[in-house]
Every structure is written in C-alpha cells, then in structure tokens.
Amino acid sequence: MEPAHWLPHRPPFLLLDTMVSIEPGIRASGLWTLRGDEWFFPGHFPGRPTTPGVLLLESLAQCGGVAVLADERYRGRLPLFGGVERARFRRQVVPGDTVTLHCEMTRLSARAGKGHGIASVGGEVAAEADLLFVLADLT
C-alpha cells in the first residue's frame, strides 16, 4: 500500500515510494528509489550528487511513522521527532539507488515512543539510528 495512506507527508517531502511490510505498532519496511531528479541533488553536491544523511533519517522516521499510524490505537495522531540517538552513516546513497528502509518500535506508549531504523542499499547498511518521537494530535 502507498505510504500516503497513513502519513500526512506529500511530495516533495514524502521520502517513501512503497511499503513492503507492515506489522502495526511493531515494525514496517519500505522502499525509496532515488531517481536523480530530486530537489536536493543539484546542491548536494554539484558534480557528485549524494542524498543528505538527514533525509535518510527522515525516510526512516516516515517508515516508523507508518508502523505507528497503522495501529488503530494511534490513528488521528502525528508522530513528531523528539530526538535521534546513535546515528551512523556508513555508505553514500546516490541517484539510481533503491534504499530499503526498516524501522522497528522498541518502545511505544500513548504519548511517545522509540524505534530503531536501518537504511540499506543492496544489502549494505547506509544509515542507522535510534529515533525518538512524541505523538501529537492532528487538530
């Protein structure tokens, strides 16, 4: 199913193309294919386009957001970043790469949570981090 079914994000800031698997409230996996015409490549970096690490973290957070919002207990809520811990960037992500995103919830309550995300390309880890979030009301 399309990530926009659960997430309020829309292009150009929807950084997931498709969901591969979803276990509501537990984990989710998705894909993001970098075509090369994304808005950030011309400036990051001219002559050597590289996906910004912060956008890899955002794509992981969006993947985790699907896991949370697919759980009917959290429908109508909005997961917002509360923090990032132990972020590591291990491989560049460039035009033509398809990033496999996986986020597993390690803690989830009525008001906040934490998940561990891994972004990989071709089986190689590109980025990983612990993502902290708070759940806000949409209204």
Residue 31: how many CA atoms within 13 Å on its side-chain side?
Answer: 11
Contact 56, 99 (CB under 8 A): yes
- Distant-in-sequence, close-in-space partners of 96: CB < 8 Å, separation ≥ 6: 34, 35, 36
- Distant-in-sequence, close-in-space partners of 110: CB < 8 Å, separation ≥ 6: 73, 135
DSSP string, 36-52: S--TTGGGSSTTS----
Contact 17, 32 (CB under 8 A): yes
- CB atoms under 10 Å from CB of 77, counted, come to 18
Just list the catalytic residues: 44
